[in-house]
Chains A and B, each alone.
Chain A
């Protein structure tokens, strides 16, 4: 976009949801379901988690009702990964010859992505951008970001330099403001600007911009206790290869793979071939895998990384060291998902500090 128009005020989300639906998008956003805030297809703002917030700590997630915010919670177990890099994809079928499946990439508007989620998409773009299916699914997304107001106790995007304010990579970004309740909206793309211009809106005043800056300041301050120095981490993790800390972590790690699967940047997959009983057809499916599974490094029937220590080391080293060798940036955006959703409550930030 050539020039940033002034942000405008929106009083409600419903006109945006309606406009996106009319524009041909399925609208996916946060909703309360089974005790968590997660993504689901929304038909109106009434389904959003207004007045709900989450308390997150290592290995624990609880919802409670508090305040009046629609987006008053931190990262949910879902990320954009499910939409850009789905858990299971058919690569091709074989029936006397290859049959390429159509790429399933329905136009989807994702509402409520955070700055860390946008950063994770940028990481994915570099890793998976070579895949036509990924590019198609990515191009089908319309991204509505929300500046983080309420980071959880496990968030550390400020340390990774990815948040809490959405800076780039969105079509629209909102800052939710209180007293009175309103959204300050800015466009990040031409089509975002077009949608915004067509919505009922009011001009913003300097006080609105100041209130938005306050939201980011407060959110940043909430993450201060957890801030760590990123400089040198790559070298220090690499140098800790033979540290006894890995064994100690392994005594607590269940090698369940939850951390990698919830991580919005972890991209690993395995390929499974299946044959059909009835017609002799075959199918090749790609599905999520993780460096914590045995099959991941299986060679000649045995895993190369058999011990829990070797597998935990692979995960943490990839995120903070070898990812940089591979892709020129970190593999972590600081969303804290792997910390909350680790049933053993292992906090990678704490482990990093012990390894340095």
Chain B
């Protein structure tokens, strides 16, 4: 059997998710032993030719050029996995979807006429078929390794669709919302980070995106939470 080829692509994003792969350090050697890392510009300027067995895509689609690139990536890849909030949901840059991007450009850039961008920032899945979406901002190293092992073994990745609260309790954190009155998005956010923020007595910021069954209206409407969220706003 030939060695599977891996490609790592970047669209509009901060590089944090690709860095997670480099961060794997010890495990990276095992990955490198199992796959040919054919295309990964963050790690090497070498550009191995496709087709690729597995393409990891970081970043959202915000330009005409990226739109063509995702279509190209899909064509030359057997499996496409999006990594991180940008590629999976549009990322922070999707704030423009709720406003006028031209206004943003005129405020941010000295020469707005240099900027060619789309009206909206969209997830990769809005344009091409995606085999698996790995969430997180950034993604979690354990989960990335799980997805890689699963694709190499030809099985479904074990990425539980449960709330951050489940990991939080598993880890033994006292609930920051109940015990400290700190607003926390854990109950409406999908697990994955290991409840990192609550472990340091901070509320969850929702990095892993909405839980499939999220009841966000209720969370926002809780008297205590509304109070703490508004105190939080005022304190800023």
Contact = CB atoms under 8 A, between A and B. Distances in A.
Interface of A: 33-36, 38, 59-62, 77-78, 82, 87-88, 250-258, 261-262, 270, 272-278, 287-290, 293-295, 306, 308, 340-345
B178 A276 contact: no
Nearest to B175: A341
A202 B161 CA distance: 56
Contacts of B175: 61, 77, 258, 341, 343
A289 B170 CA distance: 10
B1 interface: no
Contacts of B174: 33-36, 38, 61, 77
B149 A276 contact: yes
Nearest to B31: A277
A62 B30 contact: no
Q: Lowest 8 A-B CB distances belong to which pairs?
A: A256-B187, A278-B30, A254-B187, A36-B174, A261-B169, A87-B170, A256-B165, A277-B30
A296 B5 CA distance: 35
Contacts of B173: 34
Nearest to A301: B156
Nearest to B161: A294
Interface of B: 27, 30-31, 33-34, 145-146, 148-150, 152-153, 155, 158, 160-163, 165-166, 169-170, 172-175, 177-181, 184, 186-188, 201, 211-215, 218-219, 222, 224-225
A293 B167 CA distance: 12
A205 to B, nearest CB: 40
B149 A290 contact: no
12 contacts: A35-B180, A60-B178, A60-B224, A61-B175, A251-B218, A256-B163, A256-B166, A257-B165, A262-B169, A275-B149, A295-B161, A344-B219
Contacts of B155: 273, 275
A147 B31 CA distance: 55
Contacts of A345: 222, 224
Given A59-B224, A277-B27, A277-B34, A253 B218 contact: yes
Contacts of B177: 59, 343
Contacts, number: 137
Given A35-B174, A275-B149, A294-B213, A261 B166 contact: yes
A62 B177 CA distance: 11
B186 to A, nearest CB: 7
Contacts of B219: 254, 343-344
A314 B218 CA distance: 20
Looking at A33, A35, A88, A288, which has the most chain B CB atoms within 10 Å of its CB? A35
Contacts of A261: 165-166, 169-170
Given A61-B178, A270-B160, 11 more contacts: A34-B201, A253-B215, A255-B211, A258-B187, A261-B165, A274-B158, A277-B31, A277-B34, A287-B170, A288-B170, A294-B213
A257 B187 CA distance: 8
A59 B219 CA distance: 12
Nearest to A258: B165
Nearest to B150: A275
A261 B195 CA distance: 15
A263 B117 CA distance: 51
Contacts of B158: 272-274
Contacts of B218: 251-254, 344
A87 to B, nearest CB: 4
Contacts of B213: 255, 294, 306, 308
B68 to A, nearest CB: 32
Contacts of B170: 87-88, 261, 287-288
A343 B225 CA distance: 9
Contacts of A61: 174-175, 178-179
A346 B126 CA distance: 38
B169 A293 contact: no
Contacts of A272: 158, 160
A78 B169 CA distance: 9
A30 B219 CA distance: 31
A81 B186 CA distance: 22
B166 A293 contact: yes
B136 to A, nearest CB: 18
Looking at B27, B201, B222, which has the most chain A CB atoms within 10 Å of its CB? B222
Given A34-B174, A88-B170, A277-B145, A257 B224 contact: no
A340 B152 CA distance: 44
Nearest to A290: B166
Nearest to A37: B174
Nearest to B198: A34
Contacts of A82: 172
Contacts of A293: 160-163, 166
Nearest to A59: B178
A62 B201 CA distance: 15
Contacts of B146: 274
A258 B165 CA distance: 6
